[in-house]
Amino acid sequence: MPEIKKNDLQDAYWNHLLLKGERPKSVYALMLSLERDEAEFYESYASLEVLEASYWQMTVDATIEVLEKDEDYAAYPADQKLLAFFYTYISHIQGSRSRLVEYFPSMKHIMAVMPTKGDRLKGMRHSFKHFAKSVVAEGVEHKIFADRKKLTEQYDRLLWMHFVGVLQFYIKDESPNFQDTDAYIEKSTHFAIQAAAHGVLESGFDLLRFLAGKDERLEGVSKMISKFIPQ
């Protein structure tokens, strides 16, 4: 019997999720459906949770790999590299959009579990932030991003939340060929880069912190900002 590959396990897992509307009850149940021994699963993954987490990380890693193979990509300025990533990622994930729509965590869930044992996006976030740090460093060097000490150190976190925002928009997008997502990527990324370049982010965070001290309704917003951007 041929060796079972990671892609085979991924396909079986996601087919189960999307066709039955629930995760497999156990590794044993998944492997039984494939008529394979449970022990074979553990040669690739430690658990079903690790399998799912590895899929989300793989989507980012595969996108970066596609970009790095493009002969023109290396010459792109930092802002264009970010746009290229977002556009390429959405194009890449579209063939498996149902996985994203049905099982990508909500923003509320992401904020609640990060970083805990239940955080299935840990690997995905790590891969994206590693990519973002290199883009930011290049952007700071070429004056596309302003260098603001503590805030600059958090740019990768802010870009991660921006990326999650792009995915949440795409999940809800009902426009033909998801053209609204393309427009959102362009406009939101342009705004984020302009804000980083001209000090709007720093001033905006300071204002929100000040207002939160005056209005209890904004206390949650202040805590969220402080979680990512220490004073």
CA distances from 220 to 15, 224, 225 (A): 38, 6, 9
Confidence of residue 154 (pLDDT cuts 50, 70, 90): confident
Task: Answer whether 181's CB lies under 8 Å from 175's CB.
Answer: yes
**pLDDT at 229 > cutoff 60:** no
Confidence of residue 54 (pLDDT cuts 50, 70, 90): very high
d(C-alpha 107, C-alpha 173), whole Å: 16
d(C-alpha 8, C-alpha 113), whole Å: 29
Q: pTM for this one?
A: 0.83
> How do residues 110-152 score in pLDDT, each as one tens digit?
766 555 556 889 999 999 999 999 999 998 888 887 777 666 7
Confidence of residue 202 (pLDDT cuts 50, 70, 90): low
